[in-house]
Structures are given as structure tokens and as C-alpha cells.
Amino acid sequence: MHRHPTRRTLLVGAVAATALSACATGGADDDDDKGTKADATADNPFGAPADAGLEVVVFKGGYGDQYAIEAGTLYEQRFPKATVDHKGIQRVGEVLQPRFISDDPPDVVDNSGAGRLDLVTLVSSGKLTDLTELLDAPSVDDPSKKVRDTLMPGVVEDGTFDGKVLVLNYSSVLWGIWYSKSLFAKNGWTYPTTWAEMLTLCGEIKKSGIAPWTWQGKFPEYMNDPLVSLAAKAGGHELVKSVDNLEPGIWKSPSMLAAADAIYQLAAQGYILPGSEALSHTEAQNAWSKGQAAFIPCGSWLEGEQQQVTPAGFDMVLGTVPSLTGADKLPSGAVMAASSESFLVPAKAGNARGGLEYLRILFSQKVARGFAQNSKALPVVAGATDGLTLSSGLASTAETAKAAGPNMFGYRFRTWYPPLSKALDDATGELLTKRTTPDKWAARVQKAADAVAADSSVAKHKR
């Protein structure tokens, strides 16, 4: 499950962007053309038509789509004359791009996964409904609370574009380094808290006959996550903002260079499973699940994605990326985090009112708890996992989030500037195969950032 743009995604996105831009219509459409619009009430705050069908298209990836199906079932119970047409698919962009162009989109879309629709273009083309009305509506579980007050911090901000909330993400994702708790206990290994300890432990692991690391070599973005996490810990929130704001020289800063060198040392000291650079994300993850390597970088969706192939007793655990230096600006428990699994209501949806009501149900405690249990991932609905018996991976994710508290950070440049993201992925692929050095890596990425900054055709964002 790729959570950042990939080369393939960018190519698809570029085609989609051109086509969608050419057919931009702008603005949300308040007039539903399916069913009879109802009066707004406390139980039906958007006036969703009781007799209209609702089409929901959901990305069916590592999280599956059972939670979305359950939301549809609850919708039909609320509106017995309505039928929910649920579709779980994988190539969301390829399937839905023609329908957005012809202004005949579904009523609800989960725009996620590789090959998703180009979100920036959807936003700039006015193809999405403003979700402020949903956020200010009473929640399903407690009418005295607005929907926005039931969500984890940062979720609304993640879906805000130019002051409008156009997307609402469903899963809270943390990025870190995964390991098997049982494998570590068997060998007497302790998860490191500093990068120096990491390299020392890698030496011990290698002597045992197990490769210390593997990575998803066909998709270098996975290894970029620990790299930029190390840089953020060393340089603090100021470094993260400087990267996103395309500040001159930031990719050559001491913190970024030290982070690049830290990751480079894994390759230089022979701590990576041979052949990893040719592995897809599932191939690398399967090798790790088989015990061929001790560590793998990934987001918190890993347990759900691997649940069919992971042996019993493996007990995977998400570890926080270690501190880079003893003088890091962020504490060792700081973690890169963001929300994902992007739900939206198209502006030209035939039943936009019903789409908003569906999302109100989707973000309820009942559906969110089912998501946590079935998908083994953390939903953005606050308190949804309270009282649940969690799997080892999900429990470690929840503990990591709790320990980090306010010390969470996240980069925006991947969404804002896909060419820079691609340049970073390509450069890191070279770094992990020792075809470039940390200094040359930094110069290459900085050049790409400077090119984006100088390109007047690229809309710039600030944080």
C-alpha cells in the first residue's frame, strides 16, 4: 500500500491532471438529482433524500473495505427506501477519471492507493464538495458534539485546501521501523533508541545470520520515511517547515546530510538483505515476515497488509525511528504521522446530501471500532480503540501515538510538489545501492527543490 506518490502514480496523475483541468467546472452543486430532498432534522441534518440511491466507490487496499460496507448497511437501515451501491476497487484514478470529466461521479469516493485521482487537480478544478457542513453537524454518537470534535488532532488540517475542508481522511498513519517482538526476545536484542545503537545492533544481527534490514527497493519512498524522520528529529519542526516551504539549501543542511549518511551507512556496512533493491513492497515485506531480515521501514498499515502471510507468534511491533544525535531538537518519542484514506464527496454527485450523511455514519464510533478490529489500523475517530483487545502491531501503533503526544510531525511536499517527491525517491534509490554519496544525494535533491521553487507554473504553498 503506497501512501506517497510513486513514479507510476505520477504518470497516471499527470494524465488525469491534464484531462480534469481541461474540463474544470468549479464549485459544488447543492442540487441533488436523485430522489426527493428532505427537510433537515436533528436525525437527518443534511436533508438527505430518503428514497434516493447512493453510489460509494472505495479503494480496496490493505485496509479492505468491510468498514465502508458496514457504513452502507447502517445508511440503508436509516433510509430503508434507499439502496447503497458499494464498489471496492483498486485503480481509483483509471476508473473514475472519465466520470469526473463528464460530471457524472459517484456520491462518495475513497481516493486512495497507487493510481488515485490527482487530488490537487480535483481541488483546483472545483470538483469537490466543501465538507464544513459535515464537520459542524452533530455526531452520530453524541449529538451534543460536532463531528469535527470527535476527530483526532490534525485530521481537519490534513484535508484543508486554501481554507476549505475538501477531504476527510479515515486512517491515522504513523511511520516507523517494524520488527518482530518474538524474534528480538529470542535473541536478546533490544530495540535501539539512537542511530548509533541501531548500527551496533545491526552488527550483532548480521553475525546471527539474519540480514539486519530489507526495504521495498522498487519504491524508494519507503526508505525516505526513516531518512526524513531522522532529519526532522535532528532539525525540529523548523526543518520540516523549511523543506515544505522550499527554503534554499535545506536539503544540504547539517541535519539532512547527517540523516542521509545514517541511512547510507546501512548499505555501506552491508546491513541490507542482498537483492532488496529489486523487491516490490510485498516481496520485501514477505521476506521480512519470513524472518529473512530484522527491520523493515513502513507505515502503520503494515500489519493489516501482511495479516494473510505473517506466521503466528511473529508479534510485529512498530518502533519509533531512533534519535539521530544526542542534540536532537525533538524527543526520541517523536514520530512522523498523518491521516490517510481520503474520503470526498464530488461537487457533481447526484446525491451529495446522502454522501454527507454516509460520511457522518462512517466517522461514528461503531464503524471506526470495526475498522480497527478488521483492518488492524488506527482510525481517526478519537477513542475508537478504547476497551478493544488489539493485535500486537495495532497496540504498538496506539502506544507510539500516545507516547508521542504533541511531538508528531509531517511533511507536505509530497502532496504539494510531486516532481520533488519523485526526485527524492530516485536519489534515495541511488543512495541505498551506493551509486551515489550523501553529499551528491543532497545536491541532487536540492537542485530539484530549487527547480520547483523557480517554476512559476507550479502553485506554491506555505506553512
Q: What is the pLDDT of residue 17?
A: 45
pLDDT band at 28 (very low <50, low <70, confident <90, very high): very low
CB half-sphere exposure, 180, CA atoms < 13 A:
24
pLDDT at 350 over 90: yes
Q: What is the pLDDT of residue 386?
A: 87
pLDDT band at 376 (very low <50, low <70, confident <90, very high): confident
Cα distance between residue 427 and residue 420, in whole Å: 11
User: What single-letter DSSP state applies at residue 210?
Assistant: S
Taking residues 6-28, what's their average pLDDT?
Answer: 40
pLDDT band at 36 (very low <50, low <70, confident <90, very high): low
pLDDT at 361 over 90: yes
The amino acid occupying position 270 is G
Greater model confidence, 39 or 449: 449
Greater model confidence, 21 or 173: 173
DSSP H stretches of helix in 208-332? 221-244, 254-268, 281-289, 302-306
pLDDT at 118 over 80: yes
Taking CA atoms, 328 is separated from 131, 239, 258, 435, in Å, by: 38, 12, 12, 29
Is 175 in contact with 233 (CB distance < 8 Å)?
no
Q: What is the pLDDT of residue 5?
A: 39
- Listed range (190-194, 236-240, 459-463) with the worst mean pLDDT: 459-463
Three-class SS state of 443: helix
| Residues of the chain above pLDDT 70, percent | 92
- Listed range (207-211, 343-347, 376-380) with the worst mean pLDDT: 376-380
Of 149-153, 219-223, 261-265, highest mean pLDDT:
261-265
Which class does domain 54-173+338-401 fall in? alpha beta
Enumerate the CATH 3.40.190.10 domain ranges in the chain, comma separated: 54-173+338-401, 174-337+410-454
pLDDT at 15 over 50: no
Taking CA atoms, 354 is separated from 64, 123, 164, 250, 256, in Å, by: 23, 21, 20, 46, 47
Q: Is 313 exposed, middle or buried (0-12, 13-18, 19+ CB in 10 A)?
A: exposed
Q: What is the pLDDT of residue 438?
A: 98
Q: What is the pLDDT of residue 120?
A: 81
Pick from 171, 189, 280: which is nearest to 288 by CA? 280
Range 201-218 burial, b when 16+ CB lie within 10 A, else e: bbeebbeeeebbbbbbbb
Q: Which three cell numbers stand for residue 79?
A: 433510509
Taking residues 34-55, what's their average pLDDT?
Answer: 88
**What is the pTM assigned to this prediction?**
0.76
pLDDT at 22 over 60: no
Q: What is the pLDDT of residue 416?
A: 85
pLDDT at 1 over 60: no
Is 268 in contact with 203 (CB distance < 8 Å)?
no
Taking residues 375-385, what's their average pLDDT?
Answer: 89
**Backbone phi and psi for residue 130, each to the nearest 5 degrees, phi listed first:** -65, 125
The sign of the CA dihedral 57, 397, 297, 280 is negative
Residue carrying the nine cell digits 535533491? 445
The amino acid occupying position 268 is A
Cα 83 off chain centre by:
30
Torsion of CA 149, 151, 152, 156, to 10 degrees: -90
- Listed range (212-221, 301-310, 352-361, 448-457) with the worst mean pLDDT: 301-310
Is 310 in contact with 148 (CB distance < 8 Å)?
no
Taking residues 353-379, what's their average pLDDT?
Answer: 94
pLDDT band at 266 (very low <50, low <70, confident <90, very high): very high
pLDDT at 216 over 80: yes
pLDDT band at 202 (very low <50, low <70, confident <90, very high): very high
Q: What is the pLDDT of residue 301?
A: 87
Range 243-275 burial, b when 16+ CB lie within 10 A, else e: bbbbeeebbbbebbbbbbbbbbebbeeebbbee
Q: What is the pLDDT of residue 283?
A: 95
Q: What is the pLDDT of residue 35?
A: 61
- How would you classify the pairing of strands 211-213 and 408-409? unpaired
**Backbone phi and psi for residue 96, each to the nearest 5 degrees, phi listed first:** -100, -15
* Chain segment 171-199, per-residue pLDDT in tens: 999 999 999 999 999 999 999 999 999 99
Pick from 173, 153, 13, 11: which is nearest to 92 by CA? 13
Residue carrying the nine cell digits 506517497? 4
The amino acid occupying position 196 is A
pLDDT band at 168 (very low <50, low <70, confident <90, very high): very high
Q: Does domain 174-337+410-454 match CATH 3.40.640.10?
A: no
Q: What is the pLDDT of residue 55?
A: 98
pLDDT at 349 over 90: yes
pLDDT band at 235 (very low <50, low <70, confident <90, very high): very high
pLDDT at 59 over 70: yes
Q: What is the pLDDT of residue 18?
A: 44
Q: What is the pLDDT of residue 2?
A: 47
Mean pLDDT of the chain: 90
Cα 254 off chain centre by:
28
pLDDT at 164 over 50: yes
pLDDT at 8 over 60: no
Pick from 441, 402, 128, 423: which is nearest to 264 by CA? 441
